[in-house]
Amino acid sequence: MKNTNKQADESVPQTVTEFIKLQNDGQSIQIGFTDQKVSPHAGLATFAGFLQWHRVMGLLTGILPHQPKSNYALKPAEIALGYLAGVLAGAKKLAQVAYLRTDPALPALLHIKRVASQSTLSRFFARFNGAAVNLRTFDALWQWCVQRLTSRPGGYTLDLDTTQLLHEEAHQRQGVRTGHTPLGTKRCYNPMIGFLAEAKLVVGFWLRPGNTATFNNVVAFTLAILGRLPGYIRIGLVRADSGFCCEEWLQLLEARDLPYIVVGKLYRPIRSLLLRQQVWQPTEVTGTEVAEVLTQEWSWARARRLVLVRHHLEEKNRPAGKRLLEVPGYGYQVFITSLGPLVPAIEVWRRYNGRAGCECVIKELDAHFGLPQLCLKGFWASEAALSLAVLSYNLCMLFQRHLGWLDRVSAGTLRFRLFTTGGTLSRTGGLTTIRLAVPSEHRAWWRALFEKIRCPFPNCNAVEQWP
């Protein structure tokens, strides 16, 4: 006997199904199914328009190696574009990217055959099997990103940093080694990242094994970044943490007349300077005093300016600097700088504090672009997957610049405002049609977005960040 508690869903053009009833606080909710092509990521049409405006498909086609011989195989550019869209949609693993194959709108939006499967993605990244192929591919992509920027009168600030990507369970992955992390000794990667602070844009990413010394390859990494900058992009200041503090790196910046501020390592000679220093100058910052000395360490080829900063911990709302057992109650910071005496010591400290923006970028990459989760079997394959994820972050930043947004928003905010907007896919008049599920009061804002993206030339007509 047929169950009389179920009703038929006969809405057109849906197929006839049976409703599933759910009770919710005394109310009944009917759940049915539809054969309509519905996409939860139809809002990615805005980003797809941006990619078409910048001809990103052609860029990837000309750069990515290993073109397939079969006409039925996905082209590398199609695989990469589907991967980038998957990361922007929130995927943090290859399996999650492959799950987007069920989305009917993405191939039409991106002009690709289909989103690659997990096995196809694994084979694609496995083709990146050496430093040479990675450098040829991603140096060109980082250079393309920088070329989207305009010059600044004072130049850009180049921030260099290292981070740790923990993979404690990845015992069979190349390059995952035991190293020092903020959480103790853990199995990890230890990549280097370079940023242009004012644009919040990544201009370099190198993966390193977890047990790599902090100063390993910092000179080559910096040379690679400087070599890919166009002539109109000037560097006004270089900032870096103590991992970059080595004589060869300092000499490189001085030879190129690049002003720098780098954190000094609190080894015994520097600690002796702090303990011997008796003349501390108070500042307008509560609980902070400064001093400066001109000194030459035993490994330095010349004398350099050191800015010493002392924080009285009782007067600070949060921990500041590193503590010394010999002087309790204070936190210390040491900066090595090529800025002359016309820049006061407290101003050197303030200029370095602006580097906190790059820490926010690293947190953004970790939280929204899957850097801590992406770990493939091969080391160079992992670097390629991570580099493309970082490229998706850059495209996200350039997308906001294209819309004229001065205040950047996170990828999570973009997903809620734009990318996860639902829509239906159909054929109307022989054309692929996507209808976005947008409230009527927001549609004028969406039209303004598409008008800005479709405009064939750059203009200064910014779009509001929210209707």
Q: What is the 3-state secondary structure (H, E, C) of 221-261?
A: HHHHHHHHCCCCCCEEEEEECHHHCCHHHHHHHHHCCCCEE
The answer to whether 208 and 190 are in contact (CB under 8 A) is: yes
Q: Which helix (H) or strand (E) holds 3?
A: none
In a domain, 408, yes or no: no
Convert 406-436 to b/e letters by CB count within 10 Å (16 or more is b). eebeebeebbebbbebebbbeeeeeeeebeb
In a domain, 148, yes or no: yes
The answer to whether 146 and 229 are in contact (CB under 8 A) is: yes
| pLDDT for residue 459 | 67
The domain containing residue 214 runs over which residues? 131-381
Residue with tokens 């690679």, as numbered in its chain: 224
Handedness of CA 87, 93, 94, 95 (dihedral sign): negative
Strands 192-196 vs 156-162: parallel, antiparallel or unpaired: antiparallel
Pair (210, 357) in one structural domain: yes
Pair (163, 25) in one structural domain: no
Structure tokens given for 440: 């009527």
Pair (136, 259) in one structural domain: yes
Non-local (6+) Cβ contacts of 459 within 8 A are 452
Provide the CB-side half-sphere exposure for 371 (13 A, CA).
Answer: 25
Integer Cα distance of 461 and 458 in angstroms:
9
Structure tokens given for 118: 């997990």
In a domain, 423, yes or no: no
Handedness of CA 371, 202, 84, 50 (dihedral sign): positive
Pair (30, 135) in one structural domain: no
Pair (193, 319) in one structural domain: yes
| pLDDT for residue 12 | 45
CB atoms within 10 A of CB 5: 8
Q: Which regions of the chain are under pLDDT 50?
A: 1-12, 14, 16
Structure tokens given for 290: 């400064």
| pLDDT for residue 297 | 86
In a domain, 291, yes or no: yes
In a domain, 171, yes or no: yes
- In 3D space, the residue among 436, 467, 411 whose CA is nearest the CA of residue 45 turns out to be 436
| pLDDT for residue 2 | 43
| pLDDT for residue 5 | 47
**Count of domains for the chain:** 2
The answer to whether 404 and 463 are in contact (CB under 8 A) is: yes
Pair (219, 338) in one structural domain: yes
Q: Reduced to 3 DSSP states, what percent helix, strand and coil does the chain have, rounded to the nearest 5?
A: 40, 20, 40
In a domain, 149, yes or no: yes
Integer Cα distance of 246 and 392 in angstroms:
32
Pair (292, 163) in one structural domain: yes
| pLDDT for residue 317 | 73
In a domain, 46, yes or no: no
Residue that is last in its domain, among 381, 396, 430: 381
Pair (13, 138) in one structural domain: no
Residue that is last in its domain, among 381, 400, 420: 381
In a domain, 425, yes or no: no
Residue that is last in its domain, among 326, 352, 381: 381
Q: How many helices (H) and strands (E) does the chain have?
A: 15, 20
| pLDDT for residue 6 | 46
| pLDDT for residue 17 | 56
Percent of the chain's residues with pLDDT above 70 = 96
Structure tokens given for 57: 């498909």
Pair (300, 153) in one structural domain: yes
| pLDDT for residue 309 | 92
Handedness of CA 421, 423, 425, 427 (dihedral sign): negative
Structure tokens given for 341: 């005496």
Cis amide leading into 344 (omega within 30): no
Task: Residue 220: give its domain's CATH number.
Answer: 3.90.350.10
Integer Cα distance of 293 and 303 in angstroms:
10
Please tell me whether residue 318 adopts helix, strand or coil conformation.
coil
